[in-house]
């Protein structure tokens, strides 16, 4: 109760809890006991993002850098050489072990096979990767980005790449009018269904990016909604801006 909890990440029976200014905590018993595993992180202030990748890497980011652990947070390595100053978001990994992240300049960067230097792949002739709001890689190594980044009104897009970001296909677009940014965040895939949050419109669900359904109530039409989906039962849990937490059992 004494911590400002910003994000919770699970992997099997392991649970990682990121606090805003007090670091990362680990539980191996479903939250009954917690251990602070922040030793080795340069600073625990100004938390930005936390992810557990498919290759077993725990990635913690804040305004001071990017920190990666391959042993459940017992040891951390700072891996941010080549990234701009400031907080990075949406760390993820493909099947080859390459890490991807959105830098503080809204550009996508790549760390090939955990080498020492991040490459700015948004500057390699692909303008889509130079203004990105969100990033996700599914289990088939299909990469998805949500754009544009902080552009008032207009249209929000989801783009898909099947070749590591070299070429892209637009798979979703939706107009958003007024003073709300048309930002698309938290793209994910659970039990064959894709989900993403559209600012001011709600959470969208699709199986194939051909047909979409908005699975949130029309009343929740402000801000970016947060959500999670149970991998076993597809129970949908929604965090709304000021209206409470809701769940839906399929």
Do 229 and 237 meet the contact criterion of CB atoms below 8 Å apart? Answer: yes
pLDDT at 1: 65
* Pairing between β-strand 108-111 and β-strand 134-137 as defined by DSSP bridges: unpaired
Cα atoms found within 13 Å of the Cα of residue 152, Cβ hemisphere only: 2
> What is the residue whose two structure tokens read 């692909």?
126
* Pairing between β-strand 99-102 and β-strand 108-111 as defined by DSSP bridges: antiparallel
Tokens of 131: 């203004």
- In tens, the pLDDT along 182-202 reads 899 999 999 999 999 998 888
pTM of the model: 0.93
* pLDDT confidence band for 86 (50 / 70 / 90): very high
| pLDDT at 179 > cutoff 80 | no
Mean pLDDT throughout 141-161? 88
- Closest residue by Cα to residue 73 from 28, 115, 40, 29: 40
Mean pLDDT throughout 115-136? 87
């Amino acid at each position: 109760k004494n911590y400002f909890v910003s994000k919770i990440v699970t992997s099997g029976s392991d649970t990682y809890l990121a606090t805003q200014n007090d670091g990362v905590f680990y539980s191996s018993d479903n939250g009954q006991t917690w251990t602070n595993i922040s030793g080795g992180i340069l600073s625990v202030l100004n938390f930005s993002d936390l992810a557990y990748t498919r290759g077993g890497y725990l990635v913690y980011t804040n305004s001071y850098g990017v920190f990666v652990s391959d042993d459940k947070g017992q040891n951390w390595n700072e891996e941010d050489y080549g990234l701009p100053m400031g907080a990075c978001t949406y760390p993820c990994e493909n099947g080859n072990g390459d890490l991807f992240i959105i830098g503080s300049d809204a550009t996508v960067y790549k760390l090939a096979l955990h080498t020492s230097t991040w490459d700015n792949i948004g500057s390699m002739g692909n303008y889509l990767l130079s203004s990105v709001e969100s990033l996700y890689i599914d289990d088939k190594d299909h990469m998805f980005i949500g754009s544009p980044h902080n552009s008032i009104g207009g249209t929000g897009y989801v783009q898909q790449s099947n070749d590591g970001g070299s070429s892209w296909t637009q798979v979703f677009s939706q107009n958003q009018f007024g003073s709300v940014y048309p930002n698309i965040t938290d793209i994910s895939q659970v039990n064959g269904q894709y989900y993403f949050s559209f600012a001011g419109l709600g959470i969208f669900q699709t199986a194939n990016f051909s047909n979409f359904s908005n699975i949130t109530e029309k009343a929740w039409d402000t801000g970016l909604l947060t959500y999670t989906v149970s991998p076993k039962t597809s129970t949908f849990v929604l965090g709304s801006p000021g209206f409470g937490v809701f769940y839906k059992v399929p």
